Chain A
């Protein structure tokens, strides 16, 4: 036992000494090997000591990155250091006077940095409201053999690690959790284009406890983002690629710390242009980073940093297969059209959300660290879209513009006009611009000839503008060499304004601020149609909206959150156990800033709103006033989580560890209100989201071998979801609220890297398979925006089990939009600053995102009220995408010039087989064909899909000194 303890404390010294000396030499060499990128210790690095050509010994580093080689005679040695995923290096060591030479920290550069591949470059999509957000789905992590490969190779199919939603991944900056306070989304877009400045990070996966927080079930990443963590020197890169934008230029400079302890770093980039695949997608995005840091004797550090990514980006949209087939292109984008003969995109993200933080670190001793960060995020986040009043739907792929609206072979649709279908088909196939694209010129003509210059079409800009103030403090204490205690306190105050403003009147002079859907329902009431009733009362008419004015809706989301957490890591021989927990409280409420005519609530004196004897104030089923203006009730949730991570390290680089955690988290604001655009009404019986997660892992890393095998099992229960929908029957927008969504994620992950006999060449592979499935029948509540009517009230949605289908089986439903089976096998060659990678990937078991409406009895019963197995099968079946095989290739090389300058290139080719028929996601529309001839059943609208791009290249040239 003693021997074991000793070897664990300092895993060292397998000494093969061929030069037997008369007296035992007492000299030696020791040190710690760390990752240059994030200062994290590297376990399993191989160190070879040579004296001239003679190899004297080999050791590997322990979990803390420590190594020691004893019994060395005085003299000069070459120490070569290698670790999987890092550039090898050699240092000269002199041992004299029989002392053990302490080399302290020696850092290795991650080898993957040499090719400058940014997963984020390929991971950026923009697909609003479809779960497609501007985030990498899995974090590229060079320290983990699985994530290292999966993070890059799987990004093109929107792979989500273990099937988890992106918002489950905790992302921190300088110790502050950055996930969107109201939606949970990982906010990578806030620093996109700042790859250099945000490169240093610490990362844990699954339910592992991070030094920066307890985290959830999908890992925690902390981006350091302080100037001292940016690699010193000047770095300049020029990138061109065919997938996203034409070019990116990026320059970064970080100073070394000067004599007085000052260091600073600056970075700027521009991403510009369109791409080869999707017309209308266009970037005009910039980014900057500036930080300064002062170090007082390594005891006090203060860093002030600000960064932001202002820009505008034209977005892509999904269409139905019918449309893709008509135009012969799965990359068709319905968002753009010609104006004045030039292309214009209607869906543009206009964002600028700068982040500023001040971070203080106090390190009074080797065993104690304290750090505190104040971080503020503010700015604008807008997304444009066409808005129209009493005018034809301007979207080219609107279902009434398609051949299928005029003719369907199935006569039950009652679409029986093949001649008209042929007209539509020809217009699409021949690329008649007024059919296949947004007809901007017509929109201008309509507006200019409109009575009084009232715009019938306009470009709205939907805003979600955050003000997010955070305070995070944490400490780390090593009371003994076997115990590490970390603890922290976090506070967040968020006020986010949701509103829309007029971006462009498209040739008109004003847009009238009335609710056209309410107008259809309550045409005779000039009170109920008002979007801003107070304005109407003051001026006797609805507001005429000009460019830049807010209109439609306007409300604040308020959120306050406080949390304390602590964890302790205890080492007992080879066993290491980390236990952690957190507890906190979250409160949020809605504050309506305008009074909507449909839901006027009470006046300032608490009286109902009445005009001409009619009372317009309405009440819900509990007798509570339904109101659009003022504060809603506050929802408060106690949150907590606990985790345990036992790990055992064997000699020889083997490690077995397990992670288990339970958490109870507050629901998100954006899933807590029935119809937040119009009223304060909360989703009924909101409860915490619970998750239980466990994983068991085996890791092996030594001598160039690297392996991780993981089994995981996670349940997530009591989730809610709110989605915006359009009802044909009511001609109105509304919301679906789903409550009680439970899911289960179980599966395995395997990643390995195996050296081959050919030096520098290794075989790299990953494999993951799982079942990510819904395990409950959530309840659906449907509201409309233009009345207080509840269309469906707690109707079961049969996600877990449908009623029997034709063959007697039931339909289960799976977590959509990620392959549940994915594998990659490749060769990686690294020699003399050349690298070559080639791999083959396989993806399967990916499912389409579902419309809950289709899984209700209402949908399967149809107009006749009879549920038949045929209807169940047709309405509830979830589409499974075809498997896909992809081939990728990369090559790169860097050179040194006068030992001072480094330059190089990397070229990545993705999807070399040029596959253009790989579905990466999509969603079912929430609309149904309800006026069937037989009056017996409904049909689902065609789903919309996103496809993977065909062959893509990315070329990056870089220069550093």
Chain B
């Protein structure tokens, strides 16, 4: 009998000592810092940009670029994009995830294995992205986890880069080169901008309807339209609608103003129902008159922040952020609202 009893205990002990008993229900110990790689860069960012010849470039060669991260999406103004910069210029990598700042730190080295990716342009800005088989855009977002991990390699952390101070002349030259300019996509400071009391925003009667239909579009442009914030969240849009400052704005593409104005009760009701966050371009001028559109997303955390009264009253500002290009104009993307400094 004892034998039987002991054999049960023996079986129990044997079972308990098995390797598969390693529990999976608790903390398994702090993982070590990942081994950040350092790749050998064989192409500079400006060399890469120079490869672009007016249509999407499918990169079939073993092109590796590297640069330090200059953008952060923590404020939400930059969204689904990462800007990296080497000593020759900056470029946008279309990593289609949100909250990239958690994984790619300012100043951190990032290497992009471009083979299999596409260099394309959007409104004159060059971007590295994935192939868009629909042809709707020149590039698609790199948003498959395995695709990101295969092409975008995290390198050593580093000190965040200081902005490059650009003169108005630099901006003019850059505009002349358009997408080939190394400055577009770079982290820069522009000085002594003044407010132009002019905005541009494209709103839709219904975001879910056809965005190309004239009847669904309305443009707020050529004046300030009472918009005193950098952009507008959904709630802020409702405030603007109700305040009446847009009542006279016409619905439709220019030359097709056949759909009434925002102030019409039907239109106002529809817009209130379909209110959404919208990006706004606030127009500024450099001292010699070069136009800079500071464009801010309606989803930026500072979208509803009022533009300082002093700015509206004419105070000069220095802005720090990413210089961009859109259809012939210089656009400026603030990384956060602290990129705006009023000069006294």
Contact = CB atoms under 8 A, between A and B. Distances in A.
Interface of A: 236, 238, 240, 246-247, 249, 272-274, 280, 282, 284, 312-314, 336, 339-340, 342-345, 348, 390-392, 400-401, 406, 416-420, 423-424, 426-427, 432, 434-435, 440-442, 444-446, 448-450, 456, 504, 507, 521-524, 863, 897-898, 901, 903, 930-931, 935, 957, 959
A339 B304 CA distance: 41
Contacts of B20: 246, 273-274
A417 B145 contact: no
Interface stretch (B37-45, B82-90, B132-140, B168-176): B132-140
B165 interface: no
Contact of A449 (B26, B105, B235): B105
Contact of A238 (B11, B22, B74, B303): B11
B22 A427 contact: no
B22 A417 contact: no
Nearest to B229: A524
B238 to A, nearest CB: 12
B130 interface: yes
Interface in B127-154: 130-134, 140, 143-147, 149-150
B146 A236 contact: no
A424 B31 contact: no
Given A417-B133, A504-B27, A523 B102 contact: no
Nearest to A428: B146
B265 interface: no
Contact of A435 (B12, B26, B146, B305): B146
Interface string B262-303: 000000000000000000000000000000000000000101
B208 A935 contact: yes
B44 to A, nearest CB: 27
A28 B38 CA distance: 99
Given A434-B146, A959-B4, 13 more contacts: A280-B24, A284-B23, A340-B30, A342-B29, A343-B28, A345-B24, A420-B147, A441-B34, A445-B103, A449-B102, A524-B305, A901-B1, A903-B4
Nearest to A246: B15
A935 B210 contact: yes
B30 A863 contact: no
Given A449-B105, A456-B102, A272 B146 contact: no
Interface in B84-140: 97-99, 102-103, 105, 130-134, 140
A957 B10 CA distance: 13
A273 B22 CA distance: 8
Nearest to A900: B1
A432 B31 contact: no
B99 A282 contact: no
A272 B20 CA distance: 11
A246 B28 contact: no
Contact of B146 (A339, A340, A418, A427): A427
B8 interface: yes
B25 A419 contact: no
Contacts of A417: 130-134, 140
Contact of A343 (B18, B22, B234): B22
A342 B144 contact: no
B5 interface: yes
Interface in B30-64: 30-34
B28 A342 contact: yes
A348 B25 CA distance: 6
25 contacts: A236-B8, A238-B8, A238-B11, A249-B12, A273-B15, A312-B26, A314-B24, A314-B25, A336-B24, A339-B29, A343-B24, A344-B25, A344-B26, A392-B98, A400-B143, A417-B130, A420-B140, A420-B147, A427-B144, A440-B28, A441-B31, A446-B102, A507-B30, A521-B235, A863-B208
Contacts of A314: 24-25
A392 B133 contact: no
Given A314-B24, A339-B28, A901-B1, A391 B149 contact: no
A contacts with B: majority SS: mixed
Interface of B: 1, 4-5, 8, 11-12, 15-16, 18, 20-34, 74, 97-99, 102-103, 105, 130-134, 140, 143-147, 149-150, 157, 208-210, 233-235, 301, 303-305
A426 B146 CA distance: 9
A959 B149 CA distance: 56
Nearest to A313: B25
A315 B136 CA distance: 44
A953 to B, nearest CB: 14
A346 to B, nearest CB: 10
A240 B8 contact: no
Nearest to A958: B8
Contacts of A507: 30-31
B278 to A, nearest CB: 15
A238 B28 contact: no
Given A523-B304, A863-B208, A435 B130 contact: no
B99 A391 contact: yes
B22 A435 contact: no
Given A417-B132, A522-B235, A448 B27 contact: no
Contacts of B31: 339-340, 440-441, 444-445, 507
A843 B16 CA distance: 37
A420 B144 contact: yes
Contacts of A272: 16, 21
B198 to A, nearest CB: 25
A449 B149 CA distance: 19
Contacts of B15: 240, 246-247, 273
Nearest to B132: A417
A959 B97 CA distance: 60
A264 B261 CA distance: 86
A266 B24 CA distance: 30
B8 A392 contact: no
Contacts of B301: 523
Contacts of B234: 521
Contact of A445 (B16, B34, B131): B34
Most buried by A among B20, B97, B210, B305: B20
Name the 10 nearest CB pairs between A and B, nearest first.
Answer: A427-B146, A339-B28, A342-B28, A343-B24, A441-B31, A423-B144, A423-B147, A446-B102, A314-B25, A348-B25
A62 to B, nearest CB: 42
A448 B33 contact: yes
A234 B165 CA distance: 86
Contact of B18 (A246, A345, A416): A246
Contacts of B145: 401, 424, 427, 434-435
Contacts of B210: 935
B25 A345 contact: yes
Given A238-B12, A339-B29, A423-B147, A392 B99 contact: yes
Nearest to B299: A520
A419 B103 CA distance: 24
Contacts of B26: 312, 344
Contact of A424 (B21, B29, B144, B303): B144
B132 to A, nearest CB: 7
A516 B21 CA distance: 38
Nearest to B210: A935
A416 B132 CA distance: 8
B135 to A, nearest CB: 10
Contacts of A246: 15, 18, 20-21
B28 A340 contact: yes
B149 A897 contact: no
Contact of A419 (B97, B99, B130, B150): B130
